[in-house]
Amino acid sequence: GLESYRLEKLAELKEDSKKVGLIIGGIALVLLIITLITKMWLILILVAIAGIVFLIRRSSKKKKILIGIKNGLIKKLVTTANESFNYEPERFIPKDLFKKSKIIRSFNTYSGEDFFSGTINNIPIQFSEITVQVKNDKRTTTVFKGPFFVVQFPQTFAGETTVVHDYLEKNLGGLGRALQKMNLSRLQNNLIKIDNKVFEEYFAVYTKNEPEARKILSDNLCSLLISEREKHGKVYFSFNNNNFYFGIDNRRDIFHVNVDSHISENSLRKHYDEFVDYINLILTIYSMIEENMQSLDFSTNNIPQKDNTPPPKEDDYNKVKF
Strand (E) or helix (H) holding 244: strand 243-249
- 245 DSSP β-pair partners: 150, 238
Contacts of range 3-9, beta carbons closer than 8 Å, 24 or more positions apart: 3/262, 3/263, 5/68, 5/69, 5/72, 6/65, 6/69, 6/259, 6/263, 9/65, 9/68
Q: Which of 104, 92, 179 is nearest to 143 (CA)?
A: 104
* Interatomic CA distance for residues 115 and 49, integer angstroms: 35
pTM of the model: 0.71
**312 confidence band (pLDDT: 50, 70, 90):** very low
Task: Indicate the residue type of 211.
Answer: P
Q: Which of 296, 299, 153, 287 is nearest to 211 (CA)?
A: 296
Identify the pLDDT of residue 169. Answer: 44
The mean per-residue pLDDT over the stretch 143-150 comes to 96
Q: Which of 53, 86, 70, 89 is nearest to 9 (CA)?
A: 70
Higher pLDDT, 84 or 28: 84
* Interatomic CA distance for residues 101 and 119, integer angstroms: 20
Higher pLDDT, 125 or 76: 125
Q: What is the pLDDT of residues 156-165, one digit of tens each?
A: 999 999 999 8
* Interatomic CA distance for residues 245 and 234, integer angstroms: 14
> Under 8 Å CB-to-CB from 319, ≥6 apart: which residues?
272, 273, 276
Question: In the predicted model, is pLDDT for residue 36 greater than 60?
Answer: yes
Higher pLDDT, 193 or 70: 193
Task: Indicate the residue type of 163.
Answer: V
* Interatomic CA distance for residues 27 and 311, integer angstroms: 60
* Interatomic CA distance for residues 131 and 162, integer angstroms: 19
**Residues 125/282, Cβ–Cβ less than 8 Å:** yes
Q: Which of 16-30, 64-78, 215-229, 250-264 has the lowest mean pLDDT?
A: 16-30
The mean per-residue pLDDT over the stretch 138-142 comes to 89
Question: In the predicted model, is pLDDT for residue 108 greater than 90?
Answer: yes
Higher pLDDT, 300 or 257: 257
Identify the pLDDT of residue 165. Answer: 87
Three-class SS state of 161? strand
Q: What is the pLDDT of residues 66-90, one digit of tens each?
A: 677 777 778 888 888 888 889 898 8
* Interatomic CA distance for residues 201 and 125, integer angstroms: 30
* pLDDT-above-90 percentage for the chain: 43
Identify the pLDDT of residue 322. Answer: 66
Task: Indicate the residue type of 200.
Answer: E
* pLDDT-above-70 percentage for the chain: 66
